């Protein structure tokens, strides 16, 4: 396990191009999506679609391959606000 993480940190990650996306929402919307799972799904789908199209636009400019960003699943039933 240590060898794999060291190899990734030293050889793979510095050579790969990657971006971290962060979604922030206003407090009234946070409360709304905390109560309504369907609303949360709509917000995350919108975010996923937006980031995918941004990546497509950048990849066409750079002629790189495109992979849609992954969104981690919600693990607990409550959303911390």
pLDDT interval class at 5 (50, 70, 90): confident
pLDDT interval class at 8 (50, 70, 90): confident
The answer to whether 42 touches 60, Cβ cutoff 8 Å, is no
pTM, two decimals, is 0.52
Return the sign of the alpha-carbon dihedral for residues 57, 58, 62, 65. Answer: negative
Q: What is the mean pLDDT of residues 63-78?
A: 56
Q: What is the pLDDT of residues 28-60, one digit of tens each?
A: 999 999 999 999 999 999 999 998 888 877 777
The answer to whether 66 touches 55, Cβ cutoff 8 Å, is yes
């Amino acid at each position: 396990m240590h060898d794999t993480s060291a190899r990734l940190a030293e050889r793979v990650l510095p050579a790969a191009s990657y971006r971290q996306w962060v979604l922030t929402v206003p407090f009234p919307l946070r409360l709304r999506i905390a109560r309504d799972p369907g609303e949360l799904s709509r917000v995350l789908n919108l975010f996923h679609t937006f980031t995918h199209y941004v990546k497509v636009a950048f990849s066409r400019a750079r002629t790189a391959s495109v992979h849609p960003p992954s969104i981690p699943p919600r693990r607990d039933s409550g959303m911390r606000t």
